[in-house]
């Protein structure tokens, strides 16, 4: 009788992949050039100009560009124009699209159709429906802000992020970006605090700019998030309950070949993956998302997309669309998107580099050094403001990226450490040192370099090399926050960055305003102030190797916080310092901070619990049975050798012993894990999360270790789970 084991699933997966046929061109940029598709599904500026009266268009523009409050009177006209436009695009429904605290986007669709008095169909969409929605909010996490019986939550139209059409083969839906808050007006989402933090940083930046004689009326953070991700064949995905339910592998021994040859990074993109990227790009172009670069990343089967930068609010929404579109489109190619920060142990994880700067409404970048930054006082003020912000509030940046998943990455010699420091590079470090010493007098130049082949032109050299190990690096004309997790919304990290920089700009503006000076006379005051700030904040500056042991020691000596895990980091969110900062700038109320603290801990606990249950299930129902089958085969083989009487079955016996020992270890570890899952900690949310961290995670690791060892012992044809080698290299 043929033995059916789950490894049949593995075999089928490999067969499906080798038999995968190109599905033919689904996208044709020759007939529809990218310029023609870009933004066709966006209720964009040009659509508004065409379809709205002059008065209403101007009112909307003022809101978008200057953050002016919107007069509700204009909403009816906008709603009508939006509805007509959407219906021309085949829309039947509209939805208020929002970013609840679950980490995904949420939508509830409403039809444009209303039955009339005589049974006829009316197509309606009023200003009221545009401005406010009321989804049943009881199932979204609120962290105690709202009891479940008070289900009321409101979505409020965000006119500063354009509405768009989501296509489905059978129809389209008008999506209206909205903020989501409780009946009492407290934020239940990621957008509300983001918009508040953008107002805060704009207000303080304008005070500084005014001292330099600028007539700007709005300053907005600009963001370009580089998105890393894995794509693996879906057949493997469905044979791995851990990937399916937890987004990461909970088992798997290291493949014989990992990423050590570094032959994947920037390599040729496999045909199927490139086809998937092209279709994803087409879909994103239609939504007005300016994806710009794509390439292979360091790990096998890992890739990256980066967009052209946009203002923080639009960029946050667009990054959600990048993740969602990629997920949707990849299935059409038999691929599964893995956005988890660490899908495979021992292989690089995925992050999201958040490039961040500030720009005024004339389009000037506040962090652009120019050719002679030592003379560019305004640039130096903004630069030093960011340095001071990171120094003073490093813990808050850390907590903005704290998740159970990101804990696997940070400090694991592939991602920046959990110590938040600032990399400036050689040129700016030199200038900062000059300011500290008394005056900035010169700028180091990079000069040119020749490559040694006459046919190649000499290249201008950047004044400093890159540093991949720094969590917060100055890269030319922006900072790059590199510790953000790949699956995270950039909303949270942005809220912190905007608010802490607002606080620094506020401090600087206040000090400079006190002097009563302006113009040239202000320069010596600026020098004095920046000198004092640099003296105080320079411990945060570090250009060296952030992965090294030495840096950990040195950082401790400098007094920089090192919150190694989420559990170490989360209490900072509700510390006095955090409450004072966020309430001062109207970004979070104390209650809102507490709610976010609860949600973070709750998420952490739930994540670990799901993983622990999966670990147990896979170990007991897939791995142990496979190991026992193999053990029986080896025992049978010993009996056979003995019966034949050729020689003593020594090798077989030691294999049997090793198998038996490992199986016992696995069995005992499972028993222990089952026990700790069944006896959760008493106490509050923090106690629960801490228990998950201190007790459940080690018990899970104790199961994984013998299980991974068994993978190296048990006959391959009996092994139930697709291996790392298969998932990462068969594509």
Helix (H) or strand (E) holding 422: strand 422-423
Residue 365 or 434: which CB sits closer to ligand ADP? 365
Helix, strand and coil percent figures for the chain, each rounded to 5:
50, 15, 35
Q: In DSSP terms, which residues pair with 98 in a beta bridge?
A: 106
Is residue 313 at the binding interface for ligand ADP, with CB under 6 A as the rule?
no
The answer to whether the beta carbons of residues 690 and 651 sit under 8 Å apart is no
Contact stretch for ligand ADP (CB under 6 A) within 48-56, 300-308, 341-349, 554-562: 300-308
CB count, 10 Å around CB of 377?
17
By CB under 6 A, residue 498 contacts ligand ADP: no
Contact 396, 388 (CB under 8 A): no
Tell me: does residue 400 bind ligand ADP (CB under 6 A). Answer: no
Among positions 46, 73, 121, 308, the unique one binding ligand ADP when judged by CB under 6 A: 308
State how far the Cα of 421 lies from the Cα of 226, in Å rounded to an integer.
20
Among 32, 214, 477, 562, binds ligand ADP (CB under 6 A): 477
CB of residue 407 to ligand ADP, shortest distance in Å = 24
Q: Please identify, among the stretches 13-21, 223-231, 509-517, 665-673, the one whose residues bind ligand ADP according to the rule CB under 6 A.
A: 223-231
Least Å distance, CB 426 to ligand ADP, is: 17
3-state secondary structure of 144: coil
Residue 322 as a binder of ligand ADP (CB under 6 A): the answer is: no
> What's the CA gap between 658 and 662, in Å, rounded?
6
Secondary structure (DSSP) of 249-265: -S--PPPSS-STT--ST
How many residues appear in the chain? 731
- Kindly tell me which of 101 and 299 has the beta carbon lying closer to ligand ADP: 299
Query: Is residue 318 part of the contact set for ligand ADP (CB under 6 A)?
Result: no
Shortest distance, position 225 Cβ to ligand ADP, whole Å: 7
Choices 21-29, 302-310, 574-582, 615-623; region in contact with ligand ADP by CB under 6 A: 302-310
For the CB of residue 675, give the shortest distance to ligand ADP in the complex, in Å. 47
Nearer to ligand ADP, 226 or 341 (CB): 226
Q: Does 224 bind ligand ADP (CB under 6 A)?
A: yes
Query: Among residues 125, 236, 251, 309, which is the contact residue for ligand ADP, using CB under 6 A?
Result: 309
Q: What gap in Å lies between CA 296 and CA 304, rounded to an integer?
A: 6
Which window, 11-19, 246-254, 397-405, 477-485, contacts ligand ADP (CB under 6 A)?
477-485
Should residue 365 be labelled a site residue for ligand ADP when binding is judged by CB under 6 A?
yes
Position 403 contacts ligand ADP (CB under 6 A): no
Rounded to the nearest angstrom, the gap between the alpha carbon of residue 335 and the centroid of all alpha carbons in its chain is: 21
Q: Is 356 in the site for ligand ADP (CB under 6 A)?
A: yes
By beta-carbon proximity to ligand ADP, the closer residue of 390 and 599 is: 390
Using rule CB under 6 A, residue 306 touches ligand ADP? yes
Residue 222 found at the interface with ligand ADP (CB under 6 A): yes
H or E stretch at 110: strand 109-111
Instruction: Name the H helices within 457-520.
Output: 491-515
List of residues 6+ apart from 554 with CB closer than 8 A:
542
The CB-of-412 to Mg ion minimum distance in angstroms stands at 18
Total of chain residues touching ligand ADP, rule CB under 6 A:
18
What is the DSSP annotation of 289-357?
Answer: --EEEEEE-SSTTEEEEEEPPEEHHHHHHHHHHHHHHHHHHHHTTTEEEE--S-SSTTS---BEEEEEE
Cβ atoms of 546 and 416 within 8 Å: the answer is yes
Counting contacts by CB under 6 A, is residue 355 touching ligand ADP? yes
Token readout for 146 is 């709202």
Asked if residue 663 binds ligand ADP (CB under 6 A), the reply is no
User: Which residue of 7, 160, 161, 357 would you call a contact of ligand ADP, by CB under 6 A?
Assistant: 357
Residue 341 neighbours by CB under 8 Å, 6+ apart: 349, 350, 351, 403, 405, 406, 408, 409, 485, 486, 487
User: Which residue ranges make up the site for Mg ion (CB under 5 A)?
Assistant: 353
Which residues face 481 on adjacent strands? 354, 472
Q: Contact between 478 and ligand ADP (CB under 6 A)?
A: yes
Q: Report d(CA 47, CA 80) in Å as an integer.
A: 13
CB of 304 to Mg ion, least distance (A): 9
Give the one entry of ligand ADP, Mg ion, none that residue 293 binds, where binding means its C-beta sits below a cut-off of 5 to 8 angstroms depending on kind.
ligand ADP
Residue (369 or 649) nearer to ligand ADP, CB: 369
Residue nearest to ligand ADP (CB): 224
Q: Does 266 bind ligand ADP (CB under 6 A)?
A: no
Nearest residue (CB) to Mg ion, 353 versus 392: 353
Per CB under 6 A, residues contacting ligand ADP are 222-224, 226, 293, 306-309, 353, 355-357, 365, 475, 477-478, 480
């Amino acid at each position: 009788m043929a033995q059916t084991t789950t490894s049949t699933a593995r075999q089928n997966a490999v067969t499906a992949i080798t038999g995968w046929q190109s599905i033919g061109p689904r996208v044709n940029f020759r007939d529809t050039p990218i310029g023609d598709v870009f933004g066709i599904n966006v209720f964009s500026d040009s659509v508004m100009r065409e379809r709205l009266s002059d008065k209403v268009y101007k009112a909307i523009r003022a809101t978008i560009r200057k953050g002016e409050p919107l007069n509700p009177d204009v909403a009816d006209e906008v709603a009508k124009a939006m509805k007509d436009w959407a219906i021309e695009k085949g829309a039947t429904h509209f939805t208020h699209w929002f970013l609840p605290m679950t980490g995904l986007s949420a939508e509830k669709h409403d039809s444009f159709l209303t039955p009339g008095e005589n049974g006829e169909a009316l197509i309606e969409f009023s200003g009221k429906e545009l401005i406010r929605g009321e989804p049943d909010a009881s199932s979204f996490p609120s962290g105690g802000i709202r009891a479940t019986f008070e289900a009321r939550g409101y979505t409020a139209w965000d006119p500063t992020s354009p509405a768009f059409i989501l296509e489905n083969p059978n129809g389209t839906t008008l999506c209206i970006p909205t903020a989501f808050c409780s009946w009492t007006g407290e934020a239940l989402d990621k957008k509300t605090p983001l918009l508040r933090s953008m107002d805060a940083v704009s207000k303080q930046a304008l005070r500084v700019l005014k001292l330099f004689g600028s007539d700007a009326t709005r300053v907005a953070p600009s963001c370009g998030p580089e998105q890393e991700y894995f794509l693996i064949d879906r057949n493997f995905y469905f044979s791995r309950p851990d990937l399916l339910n937890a987004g990461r592998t909970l088992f798997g021994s290291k493949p014989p070949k990992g990423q050590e040859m570094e032959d994947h990074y920037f390599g040729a993109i496999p045909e199927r993956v490139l086809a998937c990227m092209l279709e994803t790009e087409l879909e994103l172009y239609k939504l007005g998302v300016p994806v710009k670069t794509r390439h292979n990343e360091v790990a096998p089967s890992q890739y990256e997309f980066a967009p052209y930068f946009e203002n923080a609010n639009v960029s946050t929404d667009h990054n959600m669309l990048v993740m969602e579109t990629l997920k949707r489109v990849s299935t059409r190619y038999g691929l599964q998107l893995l956005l988890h920060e660490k899908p495979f142990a021992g292989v690089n994880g995925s992050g999201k580099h958040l490039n961040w700067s500030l720009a005024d409404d004339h389009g000037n970048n506040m962090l652009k050094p120019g050719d002679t930054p030592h003379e560019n006082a305004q640039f130096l003020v903004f630069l030093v403001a960011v340095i001071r912000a990171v120094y003073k509030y490093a813990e808050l940046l850390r907590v903005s990226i704290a998740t159970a998943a990101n804990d696997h990455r940070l400090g694991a010699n592939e991602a920046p450490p959990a110590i938040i420091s600032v990399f400036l590079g050689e040129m700016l470090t030199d200038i900062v040192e000059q300011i500290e010493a008394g005056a900035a007098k010169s700028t180091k130049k990079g000069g040119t370099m020749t490559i040694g082949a006459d046919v190649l032109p000499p290249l201008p050299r950047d004044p400093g090399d890159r540093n991949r190990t720094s969590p917060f690096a100055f890269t030319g004309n922006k900072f790059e926050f590199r510790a953000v997790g790949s699956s995270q919304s950039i909303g949270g990290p942005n809220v912190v960055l905007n608010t802490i920089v607002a606080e620094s700009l506020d401090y600087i503006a206040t000090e400079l305003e006190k002097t009563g000076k302006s113009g040239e006379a202000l320069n010596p005051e600026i020098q004095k102030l920046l000198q004092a700030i640099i003296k105080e904040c320079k411990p945060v500056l570090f250009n060296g190797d952030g992965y090294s042991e030495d840096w950990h020691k040195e950082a401790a000596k400098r007094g920089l916080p090192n919150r190694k895990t989420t559990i170490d980091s989360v209490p900072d969110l509700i510390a006095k310092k955090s409450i004072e900062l966020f309430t001062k700038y109207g970004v979070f109320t104390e209650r809102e901070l507490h709610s976010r603290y609860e949600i973070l801990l709750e998420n952490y606990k739930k994540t670990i619990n799901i993983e622990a249950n999966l670990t147990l299930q896979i170990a007991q129902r897939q791995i142990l049975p496979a190991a026992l089958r193999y053990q029986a085969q080896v025992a049978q083989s010993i009996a056979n050798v003995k019966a034949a009487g050729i020689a003593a079955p020594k090798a077989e016996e030691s294999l049997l012993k090793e198998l038996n020992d490992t199986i016992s270890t696995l069995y005992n570890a499972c028993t222990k894990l089952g026990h700790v899952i069944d006896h959760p900690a008493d106490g509050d949310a923090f106690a629960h999360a801490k228990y998950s961290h201190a007790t459940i995670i080690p018990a899970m690791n104790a199961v994984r270790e013998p299980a991974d060892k068994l993978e190296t012992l048990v006959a391959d044809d009996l092994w139930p789970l697709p291996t790392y080698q298969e998932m990462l290299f068969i594509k």
